[in-house]
């Protein structure tokens, strides 16, 4: 039997408040609800459970909430130390699309070359006008 402690309930309220604020910021910035929850790695139903206090998000979800939406939550006695956010390389860009949307016929490798001792440079062209 799962029993919620007072500390759990306080944390759930903080999560609900912060997640709702993050959602509102995302919507104002032009993100759809589907895009917002996808960045968290959860479904709309899971988001609803988090904002209604029916569930506590995993550390993975809290990490993504901090990284993508600026959510600041301490996790019990761990504070914010439970999340180790990797610093992004400003020379790299992250693209979000699902692999089923792309076929090998749409991808063209333009350049593949060494870049220093521990890196390569890969330049690809993806033709999104063709459907997978």
Q: Is residue 79 within 8 Å of residue 90, measured between CB atoms?
A: no
**Phi-psi group of 105: left, alpha or beta (phi > 0 → left; psi -120 to 50 → alpha; rest → beta):** alpha
At 80 the three-state DSSP class reads: coil
Q: Using one digit for the tens of pLDDT, what is the confidence trace for 25-51?
A: 999 999 999 999 999 999 999 999 999
Domain residue extents for the chain = 6-78, 97-132
Choose between 121 and 33: higher pLDDT: 33
Please tell me the distance from the alpha carbon of residue 7 to that of residue 105, in angstroms, as a whole number: 54
For 6-78, which CATH class?
A: mainly alpha
Q: CA nearest 51: which of 25, 12, 22?
A: 12
Question: What average pLDDT does the segment 102-107 reach?
Answer: 80
- For the chain, give the percent of residues with pLDDT over 90: 36
> What local confidence, expressed as pLDDT, does residue 1 receive?
44
């Amino acid at each position: 039997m799962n029993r919620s402690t007072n500390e759990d309930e306080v944390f759930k309220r903080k999560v609900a408040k912060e997640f709702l604020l993050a959602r509102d910021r995302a919507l104002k910035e032009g993100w759809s609800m589907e895009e917002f929850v996808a960045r968290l790695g959860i479904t709309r139903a899971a988001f609803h459970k988090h904002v209604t206090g029916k569930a506590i998000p995993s550390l993975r979800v809290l990490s993504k909430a901090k990284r993508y939406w600026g959510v600041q939550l301490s996790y019990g006695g761990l504070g914010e130390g439970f999340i180790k956010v990797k610093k992004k390389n400003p020379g790299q860009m992250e693209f979000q699309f699902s692999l089923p949307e792309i076929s090998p016929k749409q991808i063209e490798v333009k350049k593949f070359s060494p870049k220093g001792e521990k890196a390569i440079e890969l330049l690809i062209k993806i033709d999104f006008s063709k459907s997978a």
